[in-house]
Amino acid sequence: MAKDAVGYALNALNRLASSDVLDKVGLRKLVERLAYTLTRTGFQIITTTARTFKAKQKLDKPQRLNAPGETTLLFDLSITEEQQMIRESVQGFARDVLRGKAEEANRLHATSADTISAAQELGLNLFAVPEALGGAASERSAVTTALLAEDLAHGDMGQAIAILAPMSVANALTRWGSAEQQSKYLPAFADDHAPAATIAVTEPHVLFDPMQLATTAVKNGNNWILNGKKSLVPLAAEAELFLVAAMTDDGPAVFIVEGGSKGLHCGNDPGMGVRAAAMRPLTLDNVSVADSNKLGANDFNYREFIDLGTLAWCAMAVGTCQAVLDYVIPYCNDRIAFGEPISHRQAVAFIIADMAIELDSMRLLTWRAACRAEQGKSFQREAHMARTLVKEKAMKIGTDGVQLLGGHGFTHEYPVERWYRDLRIIGIAFGGLHL
C-alpha cells in the first residue's frame, strides 16, 4: 500500500506540475519542490516486501552438498558435459533476452518481471536447493555458479545481478543454514515464484572493510537488535528476504531478516552503473531478529562467505569484459579511417591484444579460486589475488573499450559506455552475490 500511495501522489503532482493553473495562482515553485522532495525521499518510508515463510517439512539435520567427484591436487580446467549444457542454455538466454533488454533496464533502473520470470524458467534457483527440499542440487559446485555469473553478465551485468541475487541467498542457506532455517526458507526458492532475496554487506563508508562492520547486532534475550546502514543492496526495495552482515561481540555474523520487518527501510540513491540491479541503501533501525535467524552454527565461516561473494563479482566482471572484447574486435575491423581499418594500426591492435591477455588472466585466477573453493581447500589467498587483478584490469578494459570507439564510445547508442559504468562497481562492492 505504501508503494501505491507514493506512486499515486507522484502521479498527481506531476500532472499538476504540467498544468498552467499553477502559474496563474503563483504555486508552481512550491509544487515542483514538493514533487522533487517526494521523488527523492519517497522510498525511505517504504519497508521492504513481506512474505510469510513456513516450513513444509521438518529436517532432522541440515542438508549439505558435497563437492563433485574426487578432489585432485591439480588445477583442472575441464568442464563437464552437464556444465557445458547449462552454459549453452544460459548463453542463449543472455544473448537473446538480456542483451536486447539491457538498455531499457538501464533506463528504468530495474529488471523487468518478464525477464525475471524467463530466468526462473531456466531453473537456476533449483541448482542452489538440495533435492530433499524440492530443488535439483545433488552436489556443491562453485565453479558452475561462477560460469553462470560470467555468462549472464556477458548479456548484461545489471540484470545478471538481479537474477543471481536470490540464487546467492539460497546458496548461502544451503551451505550454512541450520535445519530449521533450511526447512523454513529454502523450499520457497524451488517454487515457480521464488522470492526476491538479496545479501546486504557493503556500507557507505570510505575504505569499507567487510571484516570491520559499522552495522551492529546486540543480543537481547532470545532476539538480536540490528542497527546500521547498508549501501548498494540489489533488489532492496522489493526483496522479501535479506542476509544482513552485522558486527556482534564475537565478530562479524550474518542474520536472516524478512522483508517487511519493523524498522527495515529502503532508501533511494541511484548509482552510475548496474542500474538494472535496482541497488538502493538499506537502513536498519532497531530491527529485531530471532536468535534462530542467525545464519549457521558452529560451521559458519564469515571469511568464506565474503570470499565467495568476491568471486561472484569477479566472474561477472569477466563476463562483461568478454562482452567488451567481443564488441570492439569487429568494430575496429570494420571502422575505416585514412583508407584502412583502424585495427591495421599497431596502437589499436596492441590495445586489443592486451585486453585479451588481461581477460584470460582474470578468468584463470577466478576459476582457480572457485575450483579450490569447490574442492573444500583454502581459497582466501586466491580470492584476494583474483579481486586485486580484476578490479584493476576490468576497469582498464572498460576504459580501453570506450577509447577504441572514440566519440561513439561516449554515447548511449553504443553499449560500451554502459559496460564501462557497470565495471566501476567491481572495486567497491561486497555482498549481493554468493557462489
Query: Is 114 buried (19+), middle (13-18) or exposed (0-12) by CB count in 10 A?
Result: exposed
The count of other CB atoms within 10 Å of the CB of residue 339 is 6
pLDDT value at residue 10: 47
- Give the Cα-Cα-Cα angle 40, 212, 265 (nearest 5 degrees): 25
Antiparallel, parallel or unpaired: β 197-200 and 241-248: parallel
The count of other CB atoms within 10 Å of the CB of residue 220 is 11
Cα–Cα distance for residue pair 361/106, rounded to 1 Å:
29
Residue 120, amino acid: Q
Q: How far is CA 24 from CA 16, 27, 28, 311, in A?
A: 13, 8, 9, 59
pLDDT band per the 50, 70, 90 thresholds, residue 291: very high
78 or 158, which is more confident: 158
For residue 106, is pLDDT > 70? yes
Cα–Cα distance for residue pair 410/77, rounded to 1 Å:
37
Cα–Cα distance for residue pair 111/68, rounded to 1 Å:
33
14 or 278, which is more confident: 278
The mean per-residue pLDDT over the stretch 405-426 comes to: 94
pLDDT value at residue 96: 95
**Average per-residue pLDDT in the chain?**
87
pLDDT band per the 50, 70, 90 thresholds, residue 2: very low
CA proximity to 227, closest of 216, 238, 219: 216
Q: How far is CA 171 from CA 20, 135, 140, 145, 365, in A?
A: 55, 12, 9, 10, 22
For residue 210, is pLDDT > 90? yes
